[in-house]
Amino acid sequence: MNSFDQNYDLSVKSRPVYELPFHNKLSNDLLNNTYKDVTENVNQYVKKTNLVLFWKTMKTKKKRHTGTFIAEQFDIVINEVGVDKVAAVLMDNASNMKAAHNILKAKYPNIFS
C-alpha cells in the first residue's frame, strides 16, 4: 500500500461522510480557481515592486507570427504590467521580431531604443 492509499484510507475512516473531489472537479474548477488566485497575487506583487526580471510566456498556437501579431501580444503584456514598469523586451533578430520592434518602438520609444 502506498502513501496515497494510506492517506485516502485514513481520510475515509476519519470522516466517512466526506467525499474527495472527483478528477473533473480537481482538474477544472479547483485548478482554474487556484490559477486565477495565484495570477492575481503575482500581478499585485509585480505592480507594487520595483523590479521584474521575467513576466510571461505565451502559447500562440496556430496564429501567424507576423510582426503585427507579435507587437499586439507584447503591447498587451506591457499594458498588463504597466509601461512604467518595463525596462526592456527581449526579442531575437528574426524579421517578424524586427517588424514588431519597429511597431513597438514607435509607440514606446522609452522602452525600445
Q: What is the pLDDT of residues 67-107, one digit of tens each?
A: 999 999 999 989 988 888 888 888 889 999 999 999 999 99
Q: What is residue 52's predicted lDDT score, i.e. its pLDDT?
A: 63
Task: Report residue 1's pLDDT band, with 50, 70 and 90 as the boundaries.
Answer: low
Q: What is residue 60's predicted lDDT score, i.e. its pLDDT?
A: 78
Q: What is residue 89's predicted lDDT score, i.e. its pLDDT?
A: 86
Query: Residue 84 phi/psi, 5° resolution?
Result: -70, -15
* Cα dihedral 44→48→54→55 (10° resolution): 30
pLDDT digits (tens, 9 = 90+) for 24-67: 767 788 888 888 998 888 888 877 877 766 777 777 778 899 99
Residue recorded with cell 514598469: 85
- Cα–Cα distance, 70 to 77 (Å, whole number): 11
| Inter-residue contact 81 to 46 (CB < 8 Å) | yes
Q: What is residue 68's predicted lDDT score, i.e. its pLDDT?
A: 96
The ranges assigned to domains in the chain are 1-49, 55-113
Residue 4, CA distances (Å) to 7, 26, 53, 58, 84 in order: 5, 16, 38, 34, 48
